[in-house]
Amino acid sequence: MRIEEHPILDFHKDNKISFTFNGETLEGYEGETIAAALHASGVKILGKSLFMHRPRGFYCAIGNCSSCMMTVNGVANVKTCVTDLKEGMVVEIQEGKGVIA
Q: Which residues bind another protein (CB under 8 A)?
A: 1-3, 5-9, 11, 13, 32-33, 36, 39-40, 44-46, 49, 54-65, 67, 81-82, 84
* Least separation in angstroms between CB 58 and another protein: 6
Q: Give the chain's length.
A: 101
Which one, 54 or 97, has the nearer CB to another protein? 54
Contact yes or no for 70/94 (Cβ under 8 A): yes
> Do residues 26 and 15 make contact, with C-beta atoms less than 8 angstroms apart?
no
Nearer to another protein, 5 or 23 (CB): 5
50 CA to centre of own chain: 19
